[in-house]
Amino acid sequence: MIDGKLIADGIRSRIASEVGRMKNSIDRIPGLAVIMVGWRKDSETYVRNKMKACEEAGIKSVLAQLPNDCSEDDILKALLSFENDPSIHGILVQLPLPNVTTQSCSLIYSLWQHLNEERILNALSLEKDVDGFHPLNMGNLAMRGREPLFIPCTPKGCVELLIRSGIDIMGRKAVVIGRSNIVGLPTFLLLQRHHATVSVVHAFTKNPEEITREADIVVTAAGVPNLVRGSWLKPGAVIIDVGTHPIEDPNHEHGYRLLGDVCYEEAVQVASALTPVPGGVGPMTIAMLLSNTLDAAKRAYDFS
């Protein structure tokens, strides 16, 4: 088992030490602002965990929570206020943004809302884009010889798990299941940067099982619980499971349990290493967010 929580705890401890050194040296600390629209339970949980992690690391955190029916101007106003605040070094717009606010919304309005999400992310300055979703950050990630200011947190966490677990990436065959802008696409690009031979499996891929079965490394972010069965996997493959799906379970402490994209009980019989859900990728995503925020503050203060 690749223990993401253990690895993330080590990274967060180092970040807390660096924040303390910054405070002692220049009397400044990193600052993170989170903009959250609506009251999705999963988003609320993610945001709460991020802000708790900031507090533990000594990083300032500020939350702007806006209602479901807020306008694009409301979001941009909040974003602009953080852009102009020198104590804020990273701004995170919690995704997904709600794309339907009333039952009478038409398909056209839903599409318009989706386009707004793109415009809002484009309005974020490159220097404070600690989520790494700005088109210039993504473009620089894709191009050889260019360096993005920030790498998206979940893909960065996935690759960091591989590296810190002593798993070779160079020259290995890798498959990324899913091609979202948040996880799938940047994971594909980042694995290429580490010289893996990468294939992408998506909803229109023919024979996804056969393609996945050839991979030495599988990163799955499909959003489908238990999609990847043991029969999909090459013996000895390494599995990074990004999926997180709450399933009702009255016997569980919280009334639900979490499943990943991978059928864990089957995969553990085949894989040489894999991440659990929970306790795998999730803690690393938060650790990488703290790392990006610290880097942004160091850059702003010219602190090394």
List the catalytic residues.
50, 94, 131
- With the C-alpha atoms ordered 201, 222, 118, 131, is the resulting torsion angle positive or negative? negative
Residue among 85, 95, 73, 110 nearest 31 (CA)? 85
Q: Tell me the backbone φ, ψ of residue 130, rounded to 5 degrees.
A: -70, -15
Here the tokens at position 166 are 């002593």
d(CA 213, CA 222): 16
Give bridge partners of residue 197 from the DSSP assignment: 173
128 secondary structure, DSSP code: G
Q: What is the 3-state secondary structure (H, E, C) of 151-212?
A: CCHHHHHHHHHHHHCCCCCCCCEEEEECCCCCCHHHHHHHHHHCCCEEEEECCCCCCHHHHH
Secondary structure percentages of the chain, helix, strand, coil, to 5: 45, 15, 40
